Amino acid sequence: MKKLLSILLAGAMLLGLTVTAAASGDEALVTDAFTYSGGDEWGSYDYSIPRIERDEPGIQAVNDAIWADLYDDQLYSEYGAMTAIEEGWSPEPYHVEYKWYVNGDVLSLLTMSSYSNDYVVYGVYNVSLSVGRQITDSELLSALGVDEDQFLLFSRTALMQEFETQFGSFPDDEFKEAQRQSNQSEDNARRVKPYLDGAGDLCGIGRVYSLAGAGEYAQELTLLDRGDDAPTISTADLPETAPADGRLVYFIEHCDSVDFTEADIEGFDEQMCNYARNGVYARSGRMFQSTELQSYYGQFDWYEPTVDPASFTADMLNAHQYHNIALVQDYEAAHGY
């Protein structure tokens, strides 16, 4: 799934860093699916790609998505890392690691890919070990007893605190105030991706606006300290299949790396099909004349609207995208949409 950007913590990250709760039996829950270490005259390159050691189809789908995103992702460079290595190029990203936590029956897995322009790209995966699938942000928050308004408040507060911590001592001017307002906006708060850390606290990856460099970086934020006596988290009452809206987002974010089936889009209504089908094009940077579509995809950090509709050509799509467009079109025809 495509992810957020963060300041590179130079030299501080260890290959394959894994962090778990103290519960026994968790040590082998997440392991390395692939590791690589090498280098050339330009630097050293280290990769550790995780795998969740569970057999449920829903968790295997998470593993497939992580593999597709990390093994040879091409979003931030012309070549994916392993293609570059095979062809003798210096790869991007040059460093991939992960960390994970277990709280109650929720596994939170974070992946971090470091790039030479001092970016770290995060992936956030929350998984219910009880029902055996990835859970949506709203499902995680519901298990914690946190509603949407509370989450937005927690996110905005954490974003504002981080901005003031980093830049509060800088002289006030129009640019700083503009960045401050962007930082604490509701739109920015909605982009925060929640997860649980080793203490069971509600955390999130959020974009903190900067006064230099790239203009914004993702940060690991603590949103809510749940305390030592917080109740155990349980997602056992969730359905085995994710809600349709969660599956829609999953479909769009992985339509360029996974061949989906009709079961994956079962229950999509006409509007969801429209978002899914056009989302395939959005993943390749296509812009839309429809303000509805442009606004919908604009909420996602991965969306980079760089290709004018008149300039978009079929060769900008890969085989997975062709498959998934046809899948949605067939589904629409069968349901009379």
Q: Domains of the chain: which residue ranges?
A: 4-224, 244-335
> String of b and e for 39-62 (b: at least 16 CB within 10 Å)?
eeeeeebbbbbbbbebebebbebb
Per-residue pLDDT of 56-77, as tens digits, reads 988 998 998 888 888 877 666 6
The percentage of the chain sitting over the pLDDT mark of 90, rounded to a whole number, equals: 55
Mean pLDDT of the chain: 86
User: Is 193's pLDDT higher than 60?
Assistant: yes
DSSP 259: -
**β-pairing, 95-103 with 43-52?**
parallel
Peptide bond into 243 cis (omega under 30): no
User: Is 230's pLDDT higher than 90?
Assistant: no
The torsion region of residue 76 among left (phi > 0), alpha (psi -120 to 50) and beta comes to alpha
Which residues does 253 contact at the CB level (< 8 Å), separation at least 6?
Answer: 1, 2, 283, 300, 302
Q: Name the pTM for this structure.
A: 0.76
Structure token digits, residue 279: 């989302």
User: Is 14's pLDDT higher than 80?
Assistant: no
CB of 301 within 8 A of CB of 252? Answer: no
Of the candidates 62, 301, 106, 98, the residue with the CA atom closest to the CA atom of residue 201: 106
Which residues does 262 contact at the CB level (< 8 Å), separation at least 6?
Answer: 327, 330, 331
Helices (H), the chain: 57-71, 81-86, 137-144, 148-167, 174-183, 186-190, 244-254, 262-265, 270-282, 291-298, 319-335
Q: Note the pLDDT of residue 76.
A: 62
State the residue for tokens 């349901």: 335
Span 244-335 CATH architecture: Up-down Bundle (1.20)
User: Is 5's pLDDT higher than 50?
Assistant: no
**What's domain 4-224's superfamily in CATH?**
Fervidobacterium nodosum Rt17-B1 like (3.30.565.40)
Give the residue-averaged pLDDT of 105-119.
89
Give the residue-averaged pLDDT of 169-195.
91
**β-pairing, 30-40 with 95-103?**
unpaired
Structure token digits, residue 323: 């498959």
CB of 108 within 8 A of CB of 101? Answer: yes
In angstroms, rounded to a whole number, what is the distance separating the alpha carbons of residues 30 and 101?
Answer: 10
Structure token digits, residue 135: 């859970």
